[in-house]
Homo-oligomer: A and B are copies of this chain.
Amino acid sequence: MADVYSDIGFAKLDLSRGKRTGLPETIYAAGKTKEQLLEILQTFHQKNINVLATRCSLEQYEFVKKSHLPLRYNETAEILRLGEDKTPKNGVLAVCAAGTADLPVAEEAALTAEFSGVEVKRFYDVGVAGLHRLLSKIDEIRQADVIIAVAGFEGALISVLAGLVKAPLIAVPTSVGYGASFQGLAALLAMLNSCAAGVSVVNIDNGFGAAMAACKILKLKEK
């Protein structure tokens, strides 16, 4: 079983995920100590496996970067990448965000997809309160193969967008808002109840998960 996972005591690193699911190896950095994170990165590096770490704090990054592993870090998205992005593949992903405060989540999605070799086009600050901003970009958005739409508050961007495009649309609610947004619950419920058909939803602030779903979808173009 030595080739399917690597047991380092506190963790069993899944080395066959790529083969089973077609997705890159990833680490959920939150809740891990700096030392644990470093040990995991080193293990993957020794096995020549590129890996993406999400929810990696600046503090964690500053500790592991001393290791001289080939790391890149994005502070907005809290994403750490070990190794090069994959060779570009077929297909284009549009990442749309309703407001400026949604950028960390949108960038988490965009950077994750790029790490997997997906071409990403960004459309930011296209929320529906100023509908003309979205409409002026709609022809470009329609050219994407898959769309990720990121929004906080009431998430109305998703329903409007889904009624205007043919591509699959993955909705990401964000915790942006206050009061009765209840840390993203309002946006989550709104997206799950979207009157526009064909929308599917991931967890609040889960730009990473949306990108993973988009990558799986884009593989259909390759077949």
Contacts and interface: CB of A to CB of B under 8 A. Distances in A.
Contacts of A125: 10-12
A199 B129 CA distance: 11
Given A192-B201, A193-B187, A199-B213, A136 B1 contact: yes
A189 B192 contact: no
A201 B1 CA distance: 32
A201 B198 contact: no
A163 B166 CA distance: 25
| Best-surrounded residue of A26, A133, A197 (most CB of chain B within 10 A) | A197
Contacts of A136: 1, 4-5
A118 to B, nearest CB: 13
A132 interface: yes
Contacts of A170: 200
Given A127-B195, A189-B180, A156 B160 contact: yes
A181 to B, nearest CB: 5
Contacts of A205: 178-179
Nearest to A160: B128
B21 A166 contact: yes
Interface of A is mostly: mixed
Contacts of A69: none
Given A124-B11, A203-B180, A209-B199, A189 B154 contact: yes
A161 to B, nearest CB: 10
A51 interface: no
A16 B132 contact: yes
19 contacts: A4-B132, A10-B125, A11-B100, A11-B124, A21-B163, A21-B197, A23-B198, A98-B195, A127-B195, A131-B164, A145-B223, A153-B194, A154-B193, A168-B216, A170-B200, A175-B179, A178-B206, A179-B204, A221-B221
